[in-house]
Amino acid sequence: MRTEFQDLNCTNLYRLPARATLIPYPDAESARQDERAMSPYYLGLNGEWDFTYYNSPYGVEELSGEAGEGIPGKIQVPGVWQLQGYGAPQYTNVRFPIPFDPPFVPDDTPVGVYDRTFILPEAFRDRQTVIRFEGVSSCYYVYVNGQLAGFSKGPHLPAEFDISAFVRDGENSLRVVVLQWSDGTYLEDQDMWRHAGIFRDVALLSFGKERIADVWADTSLSNGYQDGELTVTVKAIGAEKVKWTLLDGEEAILSQESAVTDGEAKLAAEIKNVKAWTAETPNRYELIVEIPGQAERVFIGFRKIEIKDGVFYVNGKNVKLLGVNRHDTHPTLGFYTPVNEMEKDVVLMKRHNMNIVRTSHYPNDPRFLELCDRYGLYVVDETDIECHGVTQFNSYDYMATDPKWTTQFVDRGVRMVQRDRNHPCIVMWSLGNESGYGCCHVSMAEAMRKIDTARPIHYERDQWEKEAITADVTSRMYAGIDFMKEYAEGNPKKPLFQCEYCHAMGQGPGLLEAYWQTYMAYPQLMGGCIWEWADHGIVKTENGQEYYAYGGDFGEWPHDGCFCVDALTYPDRTPHTGLLEYKHVIRPVRAAMTNEAKGIVSFRNYYSFLSLSHLAGQYTVVNGAKTLAQGEFILNTPAEETEEITLNLGQYPAGSYLNFTFTLRNDTSWAPAGYVVAQDQLALALGKKEAPVCLPASPLSLEKTHEGYTVRGNDFCAAFNREGLCGLVFHGAGKRTAGKPVARAHRQRQWLARRC
Active-site positions?
Answer: 434, 500
For CA atoms 203, 204, 208, 213, the dihedral sign is: positive
Q: Do residues 400 and 439 touch, judged by C-beta distance below 8 A?
A: yes
Sheet architecture: strand order including 251-259? 251-259, 241-248, 285-291, 294-300
Cα separations in angstroms, 672 against 565, 585, 663: 31, 22, 10
Q: What phi, psi does 612 have (nearest 5°)?
A: -90, 10
Beta strands in 309-374 (DSSP E): 311-314, 321-326, 356-359
Burial 259-291 (b: 16+ CB within 10 A, else e): ebeeebbebeeebeebebbbbbbbebbbbbbbb
Cα separations in angstroms, 26 against 131, 225, 367, 644: 18, 36, 22, 57
Sequence letter at residue 307: I
- The distance in angstroms from the start CA to the end CA of the chain is 107
Pairing label, strands 525-530, 496-500: parallel
Query: Burial level of 723, CB count in 10 A (0-12/13-18/19+)?
Result: exposed
The angle subtended at Cα 105 by Cα 3 and Cα 549, nearest 5°, is: 135
Cα separations in angstroms, 413 against 50, 80, 235: 33, 25, 21
429/431 Cα distance (integer angstroms): 7
Task: Determine the 3-state secondary structure of 678 from DSSP.
Answer: strand
Cα separations in angstroms, 508 against 91, 340, 551, 566: 21, 28, 20, 8
Q: How far is CA 539 from the centre of its chain?
A: 22
61/46 Cα distance (integer angstroms): 25
Q: Do residues 406 and 441 touch, judged by C-beta distance below 8 A?
A: no
Per the document, the length of the chain is 756
562/555 Cα distance (integer angstroms): 14
Annotate 551-611 with three-state secondary structure: CCCCCCCCCCHHHHCCCCECCCCCECHHHHHHHHHCCCEEEEEEECCCCEEEEEECCCCCC
